[in-house]
Structure 1
C-alpha cells in the first residue's frame, strides 16, 4: 500500500477509525493550532508554475503576527527538487529595526529541524517561527535571518524530508531570493542548522565545494541527522522516537515513489500515518510515540530505502568550511557517538571542523527539564559567527 493511500485528510490522528487520539495527542493538536498562522493564498504558486531560474522571487509580502521582534518579509521563490524539477518554496526574512549598517546586515540562514511533513508545518506558518527564540539572539547582534521552510512545507506538493539535494537547494535558493526581495542585506552569510537542519547545513557545505554561492562564510551545525541509516535505526529502537522513522519513510516515498512505507513499517504504524498528513511533529510523536522495535518496523533493509538513506547521508564528503560542529553529550535523539563519527570523517577528508561536545545538553530544550544544544551553546555560536563576519578563521573562542 502506497503512502498516499494510508494517509487521511484533516486534523485526525489516523486514517483508521480504531486509532484513538488520546489526551497527549489532543494536547499536541491544541498546541499546534494555538501556534498556527493562517495559510493564505500567498503560499499557492501559479498552476502550472512558469519556469524560472532557481532563487527567482515569485511574490513577496510584509508579514506580521509573529512572536519574534523583527521586520518580516515573506517570500515565495523558485527552488529545485532533488531531481532538478522547478518547484516553489517559501521563506521568511527577518531584519533588525533601524537602518542597515554600511555593507548591509550580515545574514544567518536557519536550516530548521524536523517540524513535520504537512503544509501546516512550515515554520513561517508558526507564530514562534519554530526557532524564534534563537533567531532573536541573532537579530539582537545585528544580523538578518533568512528562514526557508523547505519545499512542500507551506507550499503545495509534498515535503521530501531527508532528500539532501532538495534541502540544500531550498537553503541556497532562499539566499538568492532574499537578495532580490529584501533590501539592506549583506552578501556575507552563514548557515545554521539543527537536527534535520544540521544535515541540511552539511549538505549546503558539500554543495559549496561544487557549486558555490558567493558570500558564504561557513556553517554552524548542531546535533545533525547526518548518518541517516544509523539515525533511523536508532530512532526505531527507542520508545518515543517512532515519529522520526515515519517521517523519513514519508520523505523517502516523496523522493522516490517506489519506496513503499508499508514495506518498511508495521501495519499498526502504517494505520497511524494519517497524522503525517496534517499533524506536525508534536502530533505525529503523540500518535506514534508508543511504537518501537518490531511494533514499529517490519524491515529497514528494503534495498531502495537503504540506497535512499546512503545517498542522502552527509558528513563523509569534504565540505566547504569552516564548520562549527556542536553536540550535546546527553542528546537522546542524535547520540554523541554518531556526531563523533561525523567529526572524524570530516577531519579525515581535510574539512575544516571545530568540533565541541557539551556535558548535560540535550537535543532540544524543554523548559524546567533539560536544556538543548542550541540554547546551551548559544554563547559559543554567537562568538563564532561574529568571528566569521569579522573575517577571521575558525577556532575556539
Structure 2
C-alpha cells in the first residue's frame, strides 16, 4: 500500500492512499487472435469438450468463439494482469471506497474514440447478501467536459452494462470496446460526461485479497445496482474534480441494475443523486423465463447462466437442482474455459440441459423475491426506455413493471417511453436524443414531471426501413488506408 499524490493534465488527484497507480501495459495490441493468452491448452480443451459429448464441429465452433473473445481483450488475460491480480485487502474498508487507482490506462489497448482518456479503478462494493468485496471499473474522461451552471465539478454518469459473461475475463474493463461502445458509454463521454463503468462483482476482479473466489451474481439486479452506486462514490472519492451530482444509467441487465439502484436510493439516499435512465430493463428473471425462455434451448441456456452464481446467494443450491447431467457438464466446460457470451452461444445451446422437475424447487421464486424490480418506491426521477420489437426483454414485461409501479406510486416521477419497432440494444441508438436530453435536463436543474408519464415515439419513416440491429464490431486500424 502506497500513499500517492499525482497531478494529471486535467485534474488534481485527491491525496489519499490507494495502492499502485500505474501498471505497465500487459501486452502490445494484436491484429490476430490472442490465442497465446491465458492458460488454454487446445488439446485439453478438446478433451474436456469430448467428455461433454460435443461433436468435432461443435468443438471447433467453441474454439473459434474462444479465440474471438480473446482477440477482443484489451491486453492479456486478467489472470496475467497485475491490476486485477494484486487486490488490496478490504477487511476493514466500507463499500464505496477506492482501493487501487490506475490513472493513465494505455488507451492503445482499447478501441475507444479519439478525445477520450481512460482510467481503471478497484473499489469496494456489496453483494446482494451485504458482504463487502472488491470489484473493478473503468472511468472514461472527455477531452472537453460539459459544464452546468448549477453544479461544481465534472458531471458524472454511472453506466451499467448488459450481460457480458460470468468469469473474470468477461469484465467490460477488459474488453477493447468496453462491451457497449457507442451504445452509451462512448457517446456519453463524447458529450462531455465522465463515465464511471463498473464491472459487476466477479467480472474483471474475481477474487479478494485472501484469494477467495468472487462469483458473479448474474441477473441479480440489486447486486449490480450496488456496484453502480458504490463505483460512483468511489470515483468521487478518488478524483476531487468530479461533481457530487450524478446520474445512473444502464441497459438490459444494467437496466435492471439501474432500476434496482434507484430503489435502494429511496431507502438509503445519497447526496447528489439526480435520477436514473433504465433501458430495456431486466425486471424479473422468472417472468422472462415464462415468456421468452419457454422453449428447451433458451430455457437451458438461461438456467445454466443463472446457475453459475446463484449458489453464492443460496449456499444449498446445487447445479443438479436445475441442470441435467449434460447441462452440468457443459456449464463446467464454460467455467473452465472462462468463456463469455460468444462461447456460451456456441456451447450451451442443447435442448437437453434442464433437469426434469427443476421448477419444483424453491430457488427461482426465492431469487424472484430478492431481485425483482418494480412495484416498489424508487428515488426519482427515472426514464425507462423500451422497444416494441424487443425479443430479449419484451415490452409487455417492462410495461407491466412500469404500470404496477405507477399504480402503487402515481407520484413517482417515472417516464416510460416506448419506441415503435425498435429492438433490444437498438433502443439506445434510436432513443439517443431522448436519453441525452433527459440527462442534460437533470444536470441543468430542470424539474422532471411530478407524476408518471407514458408515451409512444414513432419513427420518421416506415419502421421496416431502419437498420434493426448493431451489425459491426469495432476493430483496430493498422494501415493508413483503414482510417482515411
Whether the TM-score (by the shorter chain) exceeds 0.5 is yes
TM-score by length of 2: 0.74
Does the aligned pair in 2 maintain the 1:79–1:88 contact within 8 Å? yes
Question: What corresponds to 1:107 in structure 2?
Answer: 156
Higher RCO (CA < 8 A, seq sep 6+): 1
Query: Deviation of residue 117 (structure 1)?
Result: 0.6
Choose 173-182 or 46-55, whichever is displaced more: 46-55
Residues 34-183 of structure 1 correspond to what in structure 2 (within 5 A)? 34-37=71-74, 38=76, 39=78, 40-46=81-87, 49-61=90-102, 62-64=104-106, 65-69=109-113, 70-98=116-144, 101=147, 103-133=152-182, 134-155=184-205, 156=207, 157-183=214-240
Of 246, 261, 268 in structure 2, the residue corresponding to residue 204 of structure 1 is: 261
Q: CA separation of 1:10/1:236 partners in 2, compared to 1, >3 Å: closer, same or farther?
A: farther
Q: Structure 1 unaligned runs (5+)?
A: 1-8, 365-371
Question: What corresponds to 1:314 in structure 2?
Answer: 373
Does the aligned pair in 1 maintain the 2:145–2:193 contact within 8 Å? no
1:354 equivalenced with 2:379 (yes/no): no
Does the aligned pair in 2 maintain the 1:235–1:242 contact within 8 Å? no
Does the aligned pair in 1 maintain the 2:215–2:308 contact within 8 Å? no
Aligned length: 380
Of 268, 281, 305 in structure 2, the residue corresponding to residue 224 of structure 1 is: 281
Choose 341-350 or 302-311, whichever is displaced more: 302-311
Helix, strand or coil at the partner of 2:277: strand
Write the distance in 1 (CA, Å) between the matches of 2:311 and 2:444. 43
Helix, strand or coil at the partner of 2:133: strand
Helix, strand or coil at the partner of 1:362: coil
Query: Deviation of residue 221 (structure 1)?
Result: 0.7
Question: What corresponds to 1:19 in structure 2?
Answer: 54
TM-score by length of 1: 0.89
Query: Deviation of residue 111 (structure 1)?
Result: 0.9
Helix, strand or coil at the partner of 1:189: strand
Query: Deviation of residue 30 (structure 1)?
Result: 2.6
Helix, strand or coil at the partner of 1:71: strand
Q: CA separation of 1:245/1:362 partners in 2, compared to 1, >3 Å: closer, same or farther?
A: farther
Query: Deviation of residue 181 (structure 1)?
Result: 1.8
Q: CA separation of 1:47/1:383 partners in 2, compared to 1, >3 Å: closer, same or farther?
A: closer
Write the distance in 2 (CA, Å) between the matches of 1:78 and 1:90. 9
Q: Structure 2 unaligned runs (5+)?
A: 1-38, 208-213, 450-454, 458-484
Query: Deviation of residue 295 (structure 1)?
Result: 5.1
Q: Which has the larger radius of gyration?
A: 2
Helix, strand or coil at the partner of 1:18: coil
Q: CA separation of 1:346/1:10 partners in 2, compared to 1, >3 Å: closer, same or farther?
A: farther
Helix, strand or coil at the partner of 1:255: coil
Query: Deviation of residue 358 (structure 1)?
Result: 1.5
Q: CA separation of 1:47/1:356 partners in 2, compared to 1, >3 Å: closer, same or farther?
A: closer
Of 342, 354, 373 in structure 1, the residue corresponding to residue 427 of structure 2 is: 373
